[in-house]
């Protein structure tokens, strides 16, 4: 049953806490035209997506492998498509651009890390 954007935003922290990606994605789709919902959901998905911990990021094979599994699970649920949809729907939002790009370009970073650590082509 559809919920209002306000109800969804109130439920979002709980969905995030329980890692309920499917319901977050449903809310994103349901409220695609609502910029505030899209910004909050992109930030929530970014919290669930693996990403650099900053300059001191420890890139080793086991970490890259674990992150890749986590990212693959999110990708299978449709997170990449949702990030593309929301950044396309709201091109003026810097919040969505940053979160969307971080989610979308993760595979490239893992490949670079893997090559640097393992020496793979």
pLDDT > 90: what percent of the chain? 36
Q: Mind listing the pLDDT tens digit for each residue in 35-49?
A: 999 999 988 988 887
Whole-structure pTM value: 0.74
Instruction: Give start and end residues of each alpha helix (H) in the chain.
Output: 5-17, 21-30, 35-48, 61-77, 79-89, 94-104, 106-118
């Amino acid at each position: 049953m559809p919920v209002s954007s306000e109800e969804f935003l109130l439920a979002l922290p709980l969905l995030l806490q329980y890692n309920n990606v499917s319901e977050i994605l449903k809310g994103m789709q349901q409220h695609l035209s609502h910029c505030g919902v899209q910004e909050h959901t992109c930030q929530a998905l970014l919290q669930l997506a693996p990403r650099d911990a900053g300059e001191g990021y420890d890139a080793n094979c086991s970490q890259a492998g674990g992150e890749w599994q986590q990212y693959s699970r999110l990708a299978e649920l449709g997170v990449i498509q949702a990030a593309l949809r929301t950044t396309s729907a709201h091109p003026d939002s810097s919040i969505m651009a940053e979160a969307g790009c971080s989610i979308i370009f993760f595979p490239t970073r893992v490949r670079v890390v893997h090559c640097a650590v393992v020496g793979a082509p």
